[in-house]
């Protein structure tokens, strides 16, 4: 199933301004960005990958 859409499909809503909240202020951009910042779910993973790569490279005879 292939769904294709054209910009013309959105012509009636494309230039509508973004709605503003009525009962609270918008979150400052810096706080919003912090919510989506990467977190350390795999703490130490990068070090393990680097160590494994070094070990394998050391075993390669050129």
pLDDT digit string, tens, across residues 3-13:
888 888 999 99
Specify the pLDDT at position 50: 93
For the question of whether the overall pTM of this predicted structure is more than 0.85, the answer is no
In the predicted structure, residue 62 carries a pLDDT above the cut 80: no
pLDDT tens per residue, range 15-55 = 999 888 899 988 888 888 877 777 667 788 889 999 999 99
The rounded distance, in Å, linking the Cα atoms of 43 and 34 is: 19
Specify the pLDDT at position 16: 94
H-state helical runs in the chain: 29-35, 45-58
């Amino acid at each position: 199933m292939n769904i294709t859409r054209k910009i013309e499909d959105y012509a009636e809503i494309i230039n509508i301004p973004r709605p503003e909240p009525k009962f609270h202020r918008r979150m400052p951009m810096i706080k919003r960005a912090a919510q989506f910042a990467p977190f350390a779910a795999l703490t130490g993973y990068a070090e393990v990958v680097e160590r494994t790569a070094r070990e394998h490279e050391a075993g390669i005879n050129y």
